[in-house]
Structure 1
């Protein structure tokens, strides 16, 4: 291929995948923005304030998944089919979905209010500042709406705006308000977060409504099929999102807010390595799926091996750096955070192994073994729910961090075992054991 031909191909690829690449970049920026927000709160107000902020915001985020997790994925799937046919979606369909989502979120809020102190203690570690319950309710509603608004925008192929609404705008705008010097306490930061979240949610819904039509010729979609699609996805969404929230709540309940703040910082440092997994998933999932559909076992294995090598290449340097300079790194936030160094090393080591073995789970998911993948996810999640509180009683926050790391790594090792057993593929080495493919 000539230089001109190569350049033209690269330009074509960039043009065709610009939205997808930018959406992935926004995901990465959102991780950095979230960490920057925790850094600022911890640096200014200490571990307890960081723990308070994390508990309320993480609880709201997880409860929003309980409210609409699965429905957002069903929206992407169903609404995209209308766009693919070059038709316009009926505005009434979108409004019905939004109304349903508001109903689900309201039901969760009602359960929190009806449950009283015991329910709140379970949901947020029993620690709420003045007005904290109202803040939690606003954040829960807002996060549910941003999930739905983002799903609709992505179904309309407005990926950049969709990802920004869901993950980037809120932490970035809150950081801007803090930088402007308009807030001086953790309580005021929480109120700003609630207000910003509500504004972003409303803006996202209005933007998604612009992509629909009120004309009689617009295409309506029934709601019941979406609910049928959403129900099995709902369980998966909860299982995939529970670890961050649950570990934090267990630490807060057993070790207190101070340790919860330390735990949160350690987890944010360590889970930043997940950006690698997001990138590999977006690039290799369609290629692995296509190779499997073509019955190209060697191609699937080769792609898995390449993804593993790239994962190792991009994960090891930052992971080893964080392992080596844990104390001075945490000291940048504040001297109190140096105590989180052992937890940081545990989390980073677990995330390093989890990310490097991640292609095994990717291959399993892309080769038609959704039920096995689901069983592994549910088993590891239930095990975490059962064992984390028991381990926390004896080993505190570090024990919870170890528990989370072990179950995440165990999930990928189980995927590696079943990929080898069911497909005859070892994604780590790229080797193939000859056998008949079962789609």
Structure 2
């Protein structure tokens, strides 16, 4: 059942300071001093030492927020845990009482005291299959002049250079807010304000990445080839896992094929099987197929045998496609991308034991980082005449252009340490 947030301004102000010091930047004087820098709370749990948020971008976002308008803030979603810490820092500077969408498991799944705490921090619980109450509350809150923040990419993909296809929630709620707002004020404005941020290490973190890679290899029972470089080890982990999935499907695995070629062949076969089970023909549209499979599971809960098969196929397809075509586009791969690969693997495949559980909820970075935050031009729904899909395409284009601009600037200034990319092939 949905429970509306009960924001406590005093608590929000305290948590803003706590977030800035303990969760992000760390405690000066301790964060670089052994042994204190090994304690996450002293060095900064997310280890984001520096925040690059230009005044012009901050003011652009701030101008969209306030009385007489409704604003839906839509940041990209490259990393779990750090997402809310950076998002909270952003909204603290532009709309301190903004509400933020969060997963049902975080808001409601940790017991009554934690639920009360999160609701006081103005978190909106996203309840799968029952989001109407959350949307209604969001529109009402936005109409009061407070921002509402939600991630249009949905779940974390661990790909900081690429913006995934966007979900329509922010635009749909924005159009509903516009309809209601125009009922009382002819000049009422509604903004969907995209925000992007890119994390970059402040130095060489290869030893820490190699250590994490060794842990993953051991957890997954994958033998390390001593001559392999760090990117080759990551590629070998993924290739081994893909071969296991191919074998489990009954197909024949050929490790000589490029990773993305074999991955695509497996996805085509699994999608065909899933379509047959749920009687759906989506002509290769994976997004639509997965949407239909989730709907099928809700409507056919009593069919235990087929539900188990549909769930298994859906989960495997979702897991496989989380390593997207973008992984093999560039001839080089950065340390940041290697770190994302490792976190994605741990999230998807390492699920037993306290250490892996903590990593999923509070993943620890390989070293200190800098967050580069940019605000693309907001989309004014009060002047936009296109469809919802056209609005999403425009938002995604603006977000991707901003991310690519950050990456290009860092690359030109020598901000990345790069290696040959073993996923790349001509």
Please, what TM-score do these two structures have when normalized by structure 2? 0.30
Structure of greater relative contact order (alpha carbons < 8 Å, 6+ residues apart):
2
Q: Larger strand proportion, structure 1 or 2?
A: 2
Please, what TM-score do these two structures have when normalized by structure 1? 0.29
